[in-house]
Structure 1
């Protein structure tokens, strides 16, 4: 919800504005309604009230997907700004108090500590930010997903910025023909590496094809060096012997005029791909593209889904949103995703529908192993092979 009307009086000249604009998307699960399927309207209302009162922002929009509330903010304070992070955390904390009064499911589960340290790490809210100088026409798409992890964007971002079968502009647009640079995070080792596309596509695919560990964080235009896309990928943290971190990711993608067109960005979601998440974060399922009104995952707490909101930026004002998946052209993609969901669900607790035991967010494996450890005995030696 956005209450401030668009205002383009901040423009200075035809193509430039006074300062760079920062677009921040910050999300968190502060309480599900009902179960983990949605966000209660009172939480959205509370967030809008708090944001309206802030002098730090140019504009804002509040939305949700599944049980995650998403704050879309514009300001002039740059990325990783402590005041913006504190504002977001205070707002999410206020929403948590509302969630607790309503006894919503998992109230405040993404706000693990009352102490604010100036940044938001892997077990708290998810963040995607970019600082840009607005073009004459600045088109952005905000992608937001629920019931999946940060690696869910790997395949779509590859298609959008490196696959000419998806993005014809890589071939026919002289402003894109130079390609894009991909910054990939190793979430386990907490390292990063850069790949140049198209020259290093094969090397890059070795890594981003393992989205549970290697995640595309930034994409840059090779001609201008400017940011093209950013995700909410954050390093994983080892807790109780296993790696855990942010799920339900967000992503910002710039479109048009030297970047992939709006249609090329959305085309990457026309054929649903498999992602990790779904019920208890422990299953594989299709990423279902839906309009906001259908962003309530209830079948087996899923399947995982994604929404896309489109905005034009005008002096930092958010002109929009347009609900980009509210298009019957995606009906077939939705049907394919539902058919895949049917197929995967028939496998029940068997892999590959259930994640490998090493990857499961919630698992009883350690407890069961301790319980049964004395019942495991060594295999007899095989006389023919010596094993």
Structure 2
């Protein structure tokens, strides 16, 4: 789909928001229906015409619909977030009338107050001065959207892209050699956003010590230490912590600015060639490789592999998206990675329920697993060693 456009210019300060949710899919957890997508696109077009948004773009990754927006209302805007929520409600209504699976699954509250962060949908937003001069004579960015995986899925690739010159040679150049500040959130803290700021390269080992735990700690934001410019924003939240039960994996999104004072696109996407292992799969229960896929790919592969898409845009002086986009994983270069990801998945799932193949009990998000083990735990008894000895 071409970006949805409007002709008016904007002031210098711009916000790019992506809000994504699973609100229903065809034949199981696969993809949203064309009618659902058409409904979302129509709502976005109306929001552009009314002046709420400058521009917009709609796509899906697996069964999740993503709404990408540019606007002047800053991060956390009630108006923008309520628009996205109401748009997802309309798509949910279509899913329900069509008998689709998981209708409204990610809408975890009846009516969010203010913005929708913490209400179920994945949210990532970047607000910055947009002048197309100085350190940013051209503004380009990329959006990652993942399905069937946990919130820390971007921990490893973003660490490598923004803190490791083996992956990002640009870190050795003057505009990046001071490194980046990593804002890391403790996702187990449900009382509020509990965040620590650590600087790379000095705190590189400390950053790694936290990010190794994809289920608890996640990158929330990355900022240039040279220019103070925001480089990346990630939706880092646990749906089970919001809903109190399993409602699907957290399926994170991320917005990254690239080129110039930030890593280049190839430096950002190269770590995804690892097809690294993350918590995910159909029931949120197994450790599986993250497979890069083209935009608008349904989940129909073996074992329900975690998948990630990446789309890139430029932004003109009015805050509008470029008339075309780049689908970074829609390239034959990634075919070998996809094959390797499937091979890794087959090997991991051949181990079934045993050991490292499955997430530990503390991380099993599917309520039925906990119920089964919980009932069995009640039946354990302390063995009487004297009775045991007498029986021998």
- Give the TM-score, by structure 2 length: 0.90
Q: What stretches of structure 1 of length at least 5 have no aligned partner?
A: 11-16
SS at match of 1:18: coil
Aligned counterparts of 2:240 and 2:208: Cα–Cα separation in 1 = 24
Q: Match for residue 276 of structure 2?
A: 273
Q: Which of 248, 265, 273 is equivalent to 2:251?
A: 248
Q: Match for residue 38 of structure 2?
A: 45
Q: Match for residue 233 of structure 1?
A: 236
Deviation track 1:248-285 (CA, whole Å, cap 9, x = no partner) reads 11001111011101111111212110010111111110
Deviation track 1:258-317 (CA, whole Å, cap 9, x = no partner) reads 110111111121211001011111111000011125x22223552001000010011211
Q: 1:224, CA displacement in angstroms? A: 1.0
SS at match of 2:283: helix
C-alpha distance 227-377 of structure 1, shift in aligned 2 (>3 A): same
Q: Match for residue 355 of structure 1?
A: 359
Q: Which of 125, 132, 155 is equivalent to 1:129?
A: 125
Aligned counterparts of 2:244 and 2:84: Cα–Cα separation in 1 = 31
Aligned counterparts of 1:258 and 1:144: Cα–Cα separation in 2 = 23
Q: What aligned pairs does 1:8-23 form with structure 2 within 5 A after superposition?
A: 10=9, 18-23=11-16
Aligned counterparts of 1:168 and 1:337: Cα–Cα separation in 2 = 26
Q: Is the 8 A contact 2:223 2:229 kept in 1?
A: yes
C-alpha distance 373-307 of structure 1, shift in aligned 2 (>3 A): closer
Aligned counterparts of 1:299 and 1:123: Cα–Cα separation in 2 = 29
Q: 1:113, CA displacement in angstroms? A: 2.5
More strand by share: 1
Computed over aligned residues only, the root mean square deviation of the Cα atoms, in angstroms, reads 2.3
Q: What aligned pairs does 1:283-294 form with structure 2 within 5 A after superposition?
A: 283-293=286-296
Q: What aligned pairs does 1:326-341 form with structure 2 within 5 A after superposition?
A: 326-341=330-345
Aligned counterparts of 2:244 and 2:311: Cα–Cα separation in 1 = 38
Q: What aligned pairs does 1:64-103 form with structure 2 within 5 A after superposition?
A: 64-103=60-99
Q: Which of 291, 298, 301 is equivalent to 1:299?
A: 301
Aligned counterparts of 2:161 and 2:216: Cα–Cα separation in 1 = 21
Q: 1:211, CA displacement in angstroms? A: 1.0
- Give the TM-score, by structure 1 length: 0.91
Q: 1:351, CA displacement in angstroms? A: 2.6
More helix by share: 2
Count of residue pairs the alignment pairs up: 374
Q: Is the 8 A contact 1:123 1:245 kept in 2?
A: no
Q: Is the 8 A contact 1:4 1:59 kept in 2?
A: yes
Q: What stretches of structure 2 of length at least 5 have no aligned partner?
A: 131-135
Q: Match for residue 175 of structure 1?
A: 175
SS at match of 2:152: helix
Aligned counterparts of 2:23 and 2:117: Cα–Cα separation in 1 = 16
Return structure 1 stretches of 4+ with deviation > 6 angstroms: 239-246
Q: Match for residue 146 of structure 2?
A: 145
Q: Is the 8 A contact 1:238 1:244 kept in 2?
A: no
Q: Is the 8 A contact 1:36 1:301 kept in 2?
A: no
C-alpha distance 3-359 of structure 1, shift in aligned 2 (>3 A): closer
C-alpha distance 91-378 of structure 1, shift in aligned 2 (>3 A): same
Q: Match for residue 185 of structure 1?
A: 185
Aligned counterparts of 1:249 and 1:273: Cα–Cα separation in 2 = 15
Q: Match for residue 154 of structure 1?
A: 155
Q: Match for residue 312 of structure 1?
A: 314
Q: Is the 8 A contact 2:236 2:252 kept in 1?
A: yes
Aligned counterparts of 2:120 and 2:5: Cα–Cα separation in 1 = 32
Q: Is the 8 A contact 1:180 1:196 kept in 2?
A: yes
SS at match of 1:317: coil
